[in-house]
């Protein structure tokens, strides 16, 4: 199990709850901070003293106050921490539910677990800690369907072009002219309509506007 844990959380009640969960595992060496800059400083200090933390539990959003911060939130903190302590296990404990953000945390930031702040989150947090201790990743069950849907459809460069044109205000009937001008095939209107229909059906959307909004939310365009 973990020997030294750092909790970065700006709500004291949540921090107390997290520490109680850690104590249930017999983890008593846990420090906490309300600020991302201070969390990074504590991690640097622990490395310098050859007493590194082996788990970071952090929120994503931190309320601003009188103290100016260089690190705006949890994502920036994780990125900075990974540069100086890449072996550090990271558990994100947040109310964020955007699948694109969460998916990026696992793929780009290499976090080990994501627990959503919600009802019964203490139980969820315990499971996440157990999974990380067993060298496994963990994601709250309530978030899995949304992440699965995000990764269910593979967008080709042709798909991205069509959706990007729609997002820029190009009418569907005018897309073939753009494709022909840029030598992009297939460029026929029927091909464009069929491809858009396939994307909508796969993602269970009725309108192109929903498809465009989805792709914007997930950073596809």
- In this predicted structure, what is the pLDDT of residue 192? 95
pLDDT, residue 117, reads 93
Overall average pLDDT of the 34-59 stretch = 96
Q: What's the whole-number mean pLDDT along residues 177-201? A: 93
Q: Would you say residue 183 has pLDDT above 80?
A: yes
**pLDDT score, position 172:** 95
- Helical segments of 49-156, H only: 74-84, 99-107, 121-133, 144-150
**Length, in residues, of the chain:** 221
* Residue-level pLDDT at 152: 64
**59 φ, ψ to 5°?**
-80, 175
CA distance 212 to 221: 8
For residue 47, what pLDDT is reported? 96
Instruction: List, for residues 81-104, the tens digit of each pLDDT value.
Output: 999 999 999 999 999 988 878 888
Which stretches does DSSP call E strand in the chain? 5-8, 30-33, 55-58, 89-94, 113-116, 138-139
pLDDT one-digit tens code per residue, 132-154: 999 999 999 888 887 776 666 77
> What local confidence, expressed as pLDDT, does residue 150 receive?
67
Arithmetic mean of pLDDT, 16-24 = 90
Segment 155-172 mean pLDDT: 94
Residue 219 has pLDDT above 80, yes or no: no
């Amino acid at each position: 199990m973990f020997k030294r844990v750092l909790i970065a959380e700006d709500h004291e009640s949540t921090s107390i709850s997290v520490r109680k969960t850690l104590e249930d595992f017999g983890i008593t060496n846990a420090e906490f901070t309300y600020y991302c800059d201070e969390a990074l400083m504590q991690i640097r200090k622990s490395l310098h003293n050859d007493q590194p933390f082996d788990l970071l539990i952090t929120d994503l959003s931190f309320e601003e106050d009188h103290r100016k911060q260089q690190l705006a939130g949890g994502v920036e903190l994780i990125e900075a921490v990974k540069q100086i302590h890449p072996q550090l296990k990271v558990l994100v404990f947040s109310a964020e539910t955007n699948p694109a953000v969460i998916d990026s945390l696992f793929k780009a930031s290499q976090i080990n677990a994501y627990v959503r702040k919600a009802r019964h989150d203490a139980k969820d947090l315990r499971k996440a800690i157990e999974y990380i201790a067993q060298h496994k990743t963990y994601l709250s069950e309530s978030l899995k369907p949304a992440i699965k849907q995000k990764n269910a459809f593979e967008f080709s460069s042709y798909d991205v072009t069509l959706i990007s044109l729609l997002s820029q205000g190009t009418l569907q009937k005018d897309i073939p002219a753009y494709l022909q001008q840029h030598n992009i095939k297939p460029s026929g209107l029927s091909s464009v309509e069929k491809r858009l229909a396939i994307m909508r059906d796969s993602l269970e959307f009725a309108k192109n506007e929903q498809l465009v909004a989805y792709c914007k939310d997930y950073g596809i365009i």
